[in-house]
Structure 1
């Protein structure tokens, strides 16, 4: 009987050690993908989107995510189930987050739920480097540092529903930042390829853009449409 209990305790201890090792391993990462999204393409492809009526959001790229990533392209997820999202820890950032990292989903999803999801799924995997406050503040600083709409407009690429060479978009961002971005496109209801997301790689401190080990180029042809900015406020 004692042998059975001892064996059972030993098994539980080994399982706990294994899970602990897995958690620590999952928090190792090599860089961040900092991802911004063009709302015009999101709204066009989904046929509906919901922006909060207040504050009135500017016609620019929104933050889509800040995601710890490994050099092999894998993304650790949900690294700390005990780290609960705490709104009070980012109270000084909320106004800025509402402008720059809003939820676009319909029916309208409160942005606080989006931020909670992003922290639990991705942010917890950066806890060895960034606190919860640091994680969101880092994303905001990166967006301020990387004004994609301004970079593209300076290169004569505007959100006017016209088609632009994909290479021109990549070149404009590379010339402005010194690093090649990745872009992901979607298809509108007419199956036109539209610029949707821009990926940049950032070092593990979240401070500096770096060259990507590999950049996403999802569903983009030789030319892509830069769709007009519009939002459906009637949700």
Structure 2
């Protein structure tokens, strides 16, 4: 009888520990970075770019990822190796993925490697709120909520190789979205600083944009190029 009681106590302790671990995992991030990239700034670097069989993507910002992050600036990654990317789970999203979340890396591929990397590294860390299909459909939905290119062009900022002030770019995106973006720059093959990626923050449920609790490290110059594509 005592042995049975001990076994029950051990089981209770195990289940309690498991519950705490699950709860901890569920609370392991505070918000998302929703990141979009300008293809012209990806392609005109020294590394260049490649297009899959579907051809050159539209001249528009494309999704890079939806990344769980913490308020202290750290982030979880590769959280669940037991749930790897499975393309069959997003088969109904494939057409939209190819147009809104295009891959530009070389050698040319169909995008599955890129999307798989995003799920395995970032998506698995959001499993407490988003399953694999929801992770990708949520990111696609967020993109429809803010048209970055239109926001910039409405402010007279065009992808024509001209230079624009960083402040004017941020102001245009904030005017359209209601929230302050973080801008990441890279350099073209001639070493010129240019608009590369736009970060906006999303609440921990993935449903609404919010003001960013913290921005990544790095900075752009006061004036940057917006290259054509």
Q: Distance in 2 between matches of 1:208 and 1:155?
A: 24
Partner of 1:190: 190
Alignment of 1:99-114 (within 5 A): 99-114=99-114
Partner of 2:44: 44
Residue by residue over 1:130-173, the C-alpha shift from the partner in whole angstroms, topping out at 9 and shown as x without a partner, is 01000000010011111100100000000000000000000001
TM-score, with structure 1 as normaliser: 0.85
Q: Distance in 1 between matches of 2:191 and 2:117?
A: 30
Pair 43,27 (structure 1): closer, same or farther in 2 beyond 3 Å: farther
Alignment of 1:63-212 (within 5 A): 63-212=63-212
Consecutive unaligned residues in structure 1, runs of 5 or more: 1-13, 230-235
Q: Which runs of 4+ in 1 moved over 3 A?
A: 20-27
Q: CA deviation at 1:28?
A: 1.5
Q: Distance in 1 between matches of 2:25 and 2:56?
A: 42
Pair 23,78 (structure 1): closer, same or farther in 2 beyond 3 Å: farther
Partner of 1:62: 62
Where 1:66 maps in the other structure, the secondary structure is: strand
Residue by residue over 1:173-229, the C-alpha shift from the partner in whole angstroms, topping out at 9 and shown as x without a partner, is 111111100010001122110000000000111111000012236341000000011
Pair 85,23 (structure 1): closer, same or farther in 2 beyond 3 Å: farther
Pair 83,24 (structure 1): closer, same or farther in 2 beyond 3 Å: farther
TM-score, with structure 2 as normaliser: 0.87
Query: Is contact 2:182-2:198 (8 Å) kept?
Result: yes
Worse-matched range after superposition: 45-54 or 167-176: 45-54
Query: Is contact 1:193-1:224 (8 Å) kept?
Result: yes
Q: Distance in 1 between matches of 2:167 and 2:102?
A: 29
Where 2:184 maps in the other structure, the secondary structure is: strand
Q: Distance in 1 between matches of 2:110 and 2:80?
A: 23
Q: Distance in 2 between matches of 1:22 and 1:194?
A: 42
Where 1:105 maps in the other structure, the secondary structure is: coil
Where 1:71 maps in the other structure, the secondary structure is: coil
Aligned residues, how many?
215
Pair 46,144 (structure 1): closer, same or farther in 2 beyond 3 Å: farther
